[in-house]
Chain A
Amino acid sequence: AQTVTQSQPEMSVQEAETVTLSCTYDTSESDYYLFWYKQPPSRQMILVIRQEAYKQQNATENRFSVNFQKAAKSFSLKISDSQLGDAAMYFCAYRPYDGGTSYGKLTFGQGTILTVHP
């Protein structure tokens, strides 16, 4: 069974600084997807960024980027130029590649609470 581990229950960063959130996962699959979701105080789950395992290039979305190390099964999220609105709980998630069949289920980590200090 796949497992996702976020070893940092809480992290903090100063506004405009950079912070990195860690995530490791365990799988025997070779093809899969990895995601970072953000859950602000409103509790709405928002997709931040995704990575396909078969792509070596790290995904980037504006101030958000990942460091994907497939051999180490590591998937960290880097937030640059942190803003007060980045304060939230961040979840790492894994989804196997199901070959285009009709469903895919996410396995989530336990989350990291990010505080941004002005």
Chain B
Amino acid sequence: SQTIHQWPATLVQPVGSPLSLECTVEGTSNPNLYWYRQAAGRGLQLLFYSVGIGQISSEVPQNLSASRPQDRQFILSSKKLLLSDSGFYLCAWSRQGGEKLFFGSGTQLSVL
């Protein structure tokens, strides 16, 4: 069966510090990978998606970047965090051409 791992679960970072959130998927190959952000416990906003190694598409301009160094690894990064980067970040995957998204357990990021 497929599983998705996301870490850390919580993170408190000072403004201006770097960020690295990691997500890995097991039990499948060549998945589509996604990073979503949920602000203030409300709707989810798609930040990035990837259809293959090294292929990243950004949905909104922002202070964050994403990378996919391996087939089942997706990383969300920032060189200098802003207060507005605080939120709940969710990684997700889907099969190529599949309509269902499967989510990780999320990372609560607080930038102080």
Q: Which A residues are closer than 8 A to B by beta carbons?
A: 33, 35, 42-47, 50, 89, 91, 95, 97-98, 100-111
Contact = CB atoms under 8 A, between A and B. Distances in A.
Interface residues of B, number: 27
A91 B59 contact: no
B53 interface: no
A-side interface mostly: loop
B-side interface mostly: strand
27 contacts: A33-B99, A35-B100, A42-B105, A43-B88, A43-B105, A45-B90, A45-B101, A46-B103, A47-B100, A47-B102, A50-B99, A89-B41, A91-B44, A95-B99, A98-B97, A102-B32, A102-B97, A103-B51, A103-B94, A103-B96, A104-B97, A104-B98, A105-B46, A106-B46, A108-B45, A110-B42, A111-B43
Interface of B: 32, 34, 41-46, 49, 51-52, 59, 88, 90, 92, 94, 96-103, 105-106, 108
